[in-house]
Amino acid sequence: MGGGTAKKGNRIMNWSNISEFFSMGGYGLYVWGSYGVTLICVVGEILLIKNRHRTLEKQYGLTHDINKKETTHETTS
Amino acid sequence: MAINWFKYSSPASFYSLAGKMIPFFTVIAIILLAAGLYVGFFIAPTDFQQGEAYRIIFIHVPAAWMSMFLYVVMAFWAGIGLAFNTRLSAMFASAIAPTGAMFTFVALWTGSLWGKPMWGTWWVWDARLTSELILLFLYIGFMSLQAAIDDPRRADKAGAIIALVGVVNIPIIYFSVQWWNTLHQGASVSVNQAPSMATTMLLGMLIMVFASWMYSIAIILKRIRVIILERESHTSWVAELQKKGTVS
């Protein structure tokens, strides 16, 4: 992978317009296919943990009430 | 003043420590990600051979490095958990596996999408690609074995065996490009000789590597907190958390 020769002209920012950026020199499918799936994997992972956390809290909500019933039961007996 | 580091080996105290660290690593991960993508897309020039397709390197290489590194860390904690019977170490191994599997899949996926334009094929049974695929199966094997065993402590022990046996695959992946003549290129960046990459390309890639480190730490700490809550639900300190309603 040799060093890149920057193109001439004022394109210090590599891309002169947005559509050129998305076409990515004709490799848009491959580059954005890679970045898109990576984004989906990362966001998916974060959502999975949040979901796991929520089911836990629901579970605790249940055990929380059970604890309350148990404690009241003990005090009355 | 000797710090008693072993205090943090108890799930209860580690739970709060992890909670304090997560925002710190999350913010750094986001900043580095933005910087890495900016350098990668707007400063690094077009490659004279591969044109723009080489920009996949900014996620392919960090993901591949992370997939190998996280497996070694997972095997380390699994080994410690097996040897010293420490619950938190085993929890760490279970917390790392999904993130490692995700990075392995991303490395395979981005590599395949890079291979199509450059090699003309999505997949080839090349030593590097095949050993990375085996790594994905090892991660999945670890997770499904642990899920298949009800008692968490026994699941940890079984998982530790797979993790430790699978570690041999990591040097195979790393050296595969030297031992076999692979279609996959050799290491452009290695510890013993100067990287054969343009500086801005290298800079973008290294920033993304650190961004994926910070991301991994944040996401693994987040997952281990959930695992701790799941496994320690019978304890008094978790019961207090519930009463305070701060099971966050």
d(CA B10, CA B122): 47
A2 has pLDDT over 60: no
Q: Are A49 and B95 in contact (CB under 8 A)?
A: no
**Residue A73's pLDDT is what?**
47
Q: Do A25 and B98 touch (CB under 8 A)?
A: no
Q: What is the pLDDT of residues B36-49, one digit of tens each?
A: 999 999 998 888 88
What value does the mean pLDDT take over residues B5-31?
Answer: 91
| Torsional class of A24: left (φ above 0), alpha (ψ -120 to 50), beta (otherwise) | left
CB contact A9 to B (< 8 Å): no
A 10 A CB-CB count for B177 gives: 17
Q: pLDDT value at position A77?
A: 41
How far is residue A1's CA from residue B169's CA, in Å, rounded to a whole number?
27
- CA–CA separation, B138 and B132 (whole Å): 10
What is the Cα–Cα distance from B211 to B29, expressed in whole angstroms? 5
B233 pLDDT higher than 90: no
Torsion over CA: B236, B158, B224, B98 (sign): negative
A11-15, B33-37, B126-130: segment of lowest average pLDDT: A11-15
Whether residues A24 and B53 touch (CB distance < 8 A) is answered with: yes
Output the CA angle B4-B21-B85, nearest 5 degrees.
50
Q: Which residue of A1, A7, A53, A55 to mutate against B (max B Cβ within 10 Å)?
A: A1
Whether residue B245 is predicted with pLDDT greater than 70 in this model: the reply is no
> B114 and B61 in contact (C-beta within 8 Å)?
no
Q: What residue ranges define each of the domains in chain B, with the CATH number in brackets?
A: 19-244 (1.20.120)
Which residues in chain B are contacts of A53 at CB distance < 8 A?
Answer: 226, 229
Q: Is the pLDDT of residue A75 over 60?
A: no
Q: Return the SS3 of A16.
A: coil
Question: Tens of pLDDT along B213-229?
Answer: 999 999 999 999 999 99
Q: Which residue(s) pair with B49 in the sheet? A: none
Residue of A nearest to B223 (CA): A49
- Per residue in B101-122, pLDDT (tens digit) is 999 999 999 999 999 999 999 9
Query: What is the pLDDT, as a whole number, of residue A70?
Result: 53
Q: Environment class of residue B248 by beta-carbon count within 10 Å: exposed (0-12), middle (13-18) or buried (19+)?
A: exposed
- Phi, psi for B2 (deg, rounded to 5): -80, 125
Dihedral over alpha carbons B53, B174, B181, B162 (to 10 degrees): -110
The predicted structure's pLDDT at residue A47: 96
pLDDT, residue A4, reads: 43
Q: Which two tokens stand for residue B60?
A: 């392919």
Give pLDDT, residue A3: 40
Distance CA B32, CA B212 (A): 9
What percentage of chain B has pLDDT greater than the value 90?
A: 72
**Which DSSP helix (H) or strand (E) runs through A3?**
none
- Structure tokens, A36: 């898109």
> Is B114 in contact with B106 (CB distance < 8 Å)?
no
- Calculate what percentage of chain B has a pLDDT beyond 70: 98
Dihedral pair phi/psi, residue B103, rounded to 5°: -65, -35
Query: Which of B22, B38, B52, B236 is the best substitution to test chain A (most A C-beta atoms within 10 A)?
Result: B52
Those residues whose C-beta lies under 8 Å from the C-beta of residue B100, and which sit 6 or more positions away, are B66, B67, B70, B71, B74, B139
pTM, to two decimals: 0.88
- Tens of pLDDT along A13-58? 678 888 889 988 889 999 999 999 999 999 999 999 999 988 988 8
Contact B98, B147 (CB under 8 A): no
Nearest CB to A56 within list B49, B226, B243? B226
Contact predicate A18/B41, CB 8 Å: no
- pLDDT tens figures, B68-106: 999 999 999 999 999 999 999 999 999 999 999 999 999
